[in-house]
Amino acid sequence: MLNEIVNRLRGQLRVRAESAFPERILNLCGARDLSFWDLEWESPTAFTCRLSRRDWHALRRAAKNLDCTLTVVRREGAPYFLFRFRHRTALVTGLVACALSLFLGSFFIWDFSVEGNETVPTEQILRALEKNGVGMGTFGLSLNGEDIRNHVLLDIPELSWIAVNVSGCRANVQVRERTPVPELVSKQKPANVVARRAGLVLKVRALDGVACVLPGTSVAEGQILISGVEDTETVGARILTGMGTVTARTWYSLDTAVPLRAEEKRYTGEEKLGVSLIFGTHRVKFFRNSSIEGAEYDKITNRHPWSLLGVSLPVTLVTERYRFYETDLVEQSPAQAEKAAEAVLTEYLNSLAGPYGTVKSTLCSARQKGDTLLVTLKAECEEQIGESVPIYTQASDGDT
């Protein structure tokens, strides 16, 4: 296989030899050390074989004194393929320019890939790199990894490590995010644990301070659950930092009003297409149509990065399809409106109770009032209701 590739790169010929004594031609090749392969006999006096360009010219000169006929059946390989374009100057110039552009362009960065980030957005990392001289079209061999790392880490404190590895025209950015340091609770500051919202206490866990409620007790919002003041018989009152958790059953009642006549999109069937090319960071629009201004439409954008032979090019084809529509007032049934409102209220409920506990049960009810449906969602949750409040803050609020 390797020999076949080499022979085609340097060029080979399929030659037909005819003679009354064809063995003389084979003996001549052996005496002159001329390589031939793929020998096929067509008749007792003729055969075909393949030779390299150099050996073909040597055989033709040596066979002048032999009574034989040598005919080239087929020319194969890269030299003969390129020789066809010898009179097409513009095409050859374009191919050479394209090859030269690909070769020179491989030394510049045209594509980025970011790995290792979970909370820090990729856009923020790319903006920080561009600010420090690593962007589209940057010469890859001129990058100073240590200098980039020092400056980017100052711009993004959430990162603890970053490395930029250039492979061809792609920059592989690997980052490692900093593990957040947990906030230290100062035991020097007196505080109480108070109820964030009203509920029925299920479990009390006091890590420091004095528990003021027992399981089964109903508490109101703002009530002290774990006190930071402890009364002792020997030294009197002792100031502590109230810490702990209080789990309780809580109840929510959320309301919303949903109109029974809502606007709905109706596509007119009219569509327009916009095409543009992005060269690096510059965008070139081919079709400008100002008639879409003021109209209602949905825009669907597709990006198609270009590549050649697996090499990413700094060119991206962007197509924008505009689908025009009109809005109509559509009647919806109370059941549909209630279902949509219940989904919205459930999502809002999860945002309220989700960070602190779980939702145990929900009950949705609705009543119609004219063209409006009033929807109520009642829920029972189990969550942690205690929050730490400094004692001096409570005292200041009381004085006020």
By the 8 A CB rule, do 195 and 227 touch? no
Handedness of CA 141, 147, 153, 159 (dihedral sign): positive
To the nearest 10 degrees (0 to 180), the angle between helices 122-131 and 145-155 is 120
Compute, in degrees rounded to 10, the torsion defined by CA atoms 385, 390, 393, 397. 40
Q: β-strands 46-52, 12-19: how paired?
A: antiparallel
Question: What distances in angstroms separate CA 42 from CA 17, 23, 27, 76, one per listed residue?
Answer: 10, 14, 18, 21
By the 8 A CB rule, do 317 and 304 touch? yes
Task: Quote the pLDDT of residue 234.
Answer: 64
Query: Model's pTM, two decimal places?
Result: 0.54
Name which of 181-190, 245-254, 333-342, 364-373 the model is least confident about. Answer: 181-190
Q: Residue 241, Cβ neighbours under 10 Å: how many?
A: 21
Percent of the chain residues past pLDDT 70, beyond the cut:
91
Task: Quote the pLDDT of residue 34.
Answer: 87
Burial 37-67 (b: 16+ CB within 10 A, else e): eeeeeeeeebbbbbbbbebbebbeeebeeee
Average pLDDT of the chain is 84
| Amino acid making up residue 176 | R
Average pLDDT over residues 165-175: 85
List pLDDT tens digits, range 362-379.
Answer: 999 999 888 889 999 999
List pLDDT tens digits, range 11-31.
Answer: 888 999 988 888 888 888 888
